[in-house]
Amino acid sequence: MKIGAIIVAGGRGTRAGGDVPKQYREIGGRPVLARTLDVFLAHPLIGPVIVVIGAEDSKRFEALAPLLAGGVETVTGGTTRTASVRAGLQTLEHAGVDAVMIHDAARPFLSAALITALADALKDHAAVLPALASVDALMQLDATGRLVRVINRDEVAAAQTPQAFRMAELMQAYRALGETALPDDAAVAVRAGMDVHTVRGETGNFKLTTPEDFARAEAMLKGPSAITVTGQGFDVHRLETADSMMLCGVEIRDGLGLVGHSDADVGLHALTDAILGAAGAGDIGQHFSPSDPRWKGAASDRFVLHALDLLQQAGGSVLHADITLIGERPKVGPYRDAMRARVAELLGLELRRVNIKATTTEKLGFTGRGEGLAAQAIITARMT
């Protein structure tokens, strides 16, 4: 699936204060918009990237562009957010993308893992957004500030961006909308009768709106100091004669299969345990019991994404992954590039941050006899 991105960066951000629009202000010595674009430009699933800027901001963006690691295209936005997104969509429509993610420029702290989770959800849904459940009691007030009613917080959630859509369905929704302005793109989708699904949002993916938000952002970037942790995983599955197996997310047809309750992807199972180790969240068996019928034949990428979610909740993000596959067969070489690409996609990492290697045990032990395949994984993560 080819996924484009539209970064909405045409607002004035007057509530944030300052002499320039908030997306061009610096936090930690780098402009907010540059930080936001860094995440999308580095993600292996995203491209092209369109930035919708204000009519008076072309020189500001020209000054920012040399700071970026990749090229982007700019278009001039309209007087409303809806009009600005429409301008971005009209440009992206000719780029041959299958789907689009639309993101607020003033949310610079989204993770690559969130983009990956949204991309994965687009395989099953035409519209999906990240949302956060409320941990506080919610109340409806009147114009004087008097309490009118208490709202059941289990029935509401805070919407975030990026909001992700299959391109054809969203274009149809915008055409049906006409010139009406709505708060966000999920509202456009709902107006058109689309089902909008959610994935778990991120507390760090907040929108810079007020001076207090900018102070919070500076504090996040300055400290507490981040630490680097490692997680290690190991897994073994028995081999049998079969048409195919899944290994590091790639189907291999070599006359062998791996035996297990799920799809028995030994590489992704080791990776899942490594991520859980970095998160301090136990092991794969605690989260996906082999006796639970829900996981019968399940694709192991679901386990990896669940572990990433737990790591993110613990304040971490994966920086690097190294997987070693141990066995006589199958030969990994012909599939190595595809495996690296799939693992990089799942983790939201650049390809150079993923390594996959293979070794044998010189005909010794169960792997040497061809009875099974083992895998070891080590990940490096940044924790805040």
Strands 147-151 and 250-252: unpaired
Which position has the higher pLDDT, 223 or 351? 351
Q: Is 253 helix (H, G, I), strand (E, B) or coil?
A: coil
Report, as an integer, the average pLDDT of 252-275: 95
User: pLDDT tens for residues 12-51?
Assistant: 777 877 778 999 999 999 999 999 999 999 999 999 999 9
**Selection from 31, 116, 23 nearest residue 317 by Cα:** 116
- Whether pTM exceeds 0.75: no
pLDDT value for 383: 87
**What mean pLDDT value characterizes the chain?**
93
What is the DSSP track for 79-96?
Answer: SSHHHHHHHHHHHHGGGT
153 contacts 138 by C-beta, under 8 angstroms? yes
Give the pLDDT mean for 53-82.
93
H or E element, residue 99: strand 99-104
Q: State residue 178's pLDDT score.
A: 87
Cis omega (within 30 of 0) on the bond before 130?
no
* pLDDT tens profile 300-321: 999 999 999 999 988 899 999 9
Q: Which of 43, 98, 106, 40 is nearest to 73 (CA)?
A: 40
Is residue 290 pLDDT above 90, yes or no?
A: no
Q: Please give the domain boundaries of the chain with CATH numbers for all domains.
A: 3-222 (3.90.550.10), 227-383 (3.30.1330.50)
Report how many helices (DSSP H) and strands (DSSP E) the chain contains, helices first: 12, 19
State the pLDDT at residue 12: 79
pLDDT score for 223: 61
Q: Is the model's pLDDT at 244 over the cut of 70?
A: yes
Q: For 364, phi and psi rounded to 5 degrees? A: -95, 145
**pLDDT tens-digit map of 189-231:** 999 999 999 999 999 999 999 999 999 999 888 765 678 999 9
Q: How many Å apart are CA 366 and CA 47, to the nearest integer?
A: 44
Phi, psi of 262 (to 5 degrees): -90, -150
pLDDT tens digits, one per residue of 85-143:
999 999 999 999 999 999 999 999 999 999 999 999 999 999 999 999 888 888 888 88
Neighbours of 221 (CB within 10 A): 16
